[in-house]
Structure 1
Amino acid sequence: MPRYEYRCKPCGSTFELNRPMAESSAPATCPDGHTDTVKLLSTVAVTGTAGAAPAPQPAGGCCGGGGCG
């Protein structure tokens, strides 16, 4: 479930909530009970191999180092 960061306007505190994407814009109540909050834009950390550079190939002949006869 995604984590969203919010800031409370009355007390200035920031807090995070785990909620479904469909509820990301729903009102959030700060831990002190204030309801006047705004959702902050967050940076996204993405990990994985999609789009990564290809693995280096062995040096050598046309077949990757094998003898092309």
Structure 2
Amino acid sequence: MPRYEYRCRTCGDTFELSRPMAESSAPASCPTGHDDTVKLLSTVAVGGTSAGSAPAPRQGGAGGGCCGGGCCG
């Protein structure tokens, strides 16, 4: 189930709730009971290996790819 982050406009507290995507825009009360909250925009980082930013090596010879590298015959 996705987790959504909210901030209370009254007390400034930030908190997370796990709820179905269908309820992502439903109002949420802060843990101290205030109703004036706003859903924060969260970012998701997808990582790889330490060489994850390097482009994948080309396969198939100088032309790259199957049809340019001579592997199709």
Report matched runs for 1:1-69 at 5 Å.
Answer: 1-46=1-46
- C-alpha RMSD over aligned residues: 2.1
Q: 1 CA distance for matches of 2:16 and 2:57?
A: 38
| TM-score calculated relative to the size of structure 1 | 0.66
Unaligned runs of 5+ in 1: 58-69
CA drift at 1:46: 3.6
Give the AA of the match of 2:23.
Answer: E
CA drift at 1:37: 0.2
Bigger helix share: 2
Instruction: Give the direction of change, closer, same or farther, for the CA distance of 1:21–1:47 in structure 2 (3 Å limit).
Output: farther
Give the AA of the match of 2:24.
Answer: S
Unaligned runs of 5+ in 2: 60-73
CA drift at 1:44: 1.2
| TM-score calculated relative to the size of structure 2 | 0.62
The number of equivalent residue pairs is 54
Identity of aligned residues (%): 76
Q: 2 CA distance for matches of 1:43 and 1:31?
A: 23
Give the AA of the match of 2:35.
Answer: T
CA drift at 1:27: 0.2
